[in-house]
Amino acid sequence: MELPMIAMGGYSMALGVWHLGVPVWFHFGRALDGGARLPAVRAMPVRYGTTPGDVLGVAWIMNLVASYGLITIGLAGLAAPLWIETPAGRVLALWIAGWWFVRAAAQLAMGHRPIDLVVIAWFAVLGAVAVAAAVA
């Protein structure tokens, strides 16, 4: 199971680097150019006014955090020969599997187009690779 985990790690790192630019690739700024007035976010007792710039900021934050997660999962995958058959490694592999399964399910937020179904299936496969590594 080392080779599939190493391959998953390399893919994860590449995807993490790509995610650094997702707000640019998907034109988030242009999507928010309408300047629509947005309702405030209420987190009792605080009221936080929200602008399209805030929404863009959240998109950048979330993509940077996704990149961090993907790159660190990638590093763990590349280092799999060091940990794959250890008790802690089994836990790590299951955590990685959970991350990929959550990512697969989250794709439904984009819709049910054929490309979305391919993305869901691909991320589910990556989760299955990590589960296989955990039980090997």
pLDDT digits (tens, 9 = 90+) for 55-81: 889 899 999 999 999 999 999 999 999
The CA distances from residue 12 to 45, 60, 71, 98, 132, in Å, are 40, 19, 6, 14, 17
What is the pLDDT of the chain when averaged over all its residues?
93
Task: Please check the confidence at residue 51 and state whether its pLDDT lies above 70.
Answer: yes
Gap between the Cα atoms of 120 and 72, Å rounded: 21
**pTM over 0.95, yes/no:** no
Give the pLDDT band (50/70/90) at residue 38.
confident
pLDDT at residue 35 tops 70: no
Q: Which helix (H) or strand (E) holds 124?
A: helix 114-135
Close Cβ partners of 105 (under 8 Å, ≥ 6 residues apart) = 120
Region 127-132: what's the mean pLDDT? 98
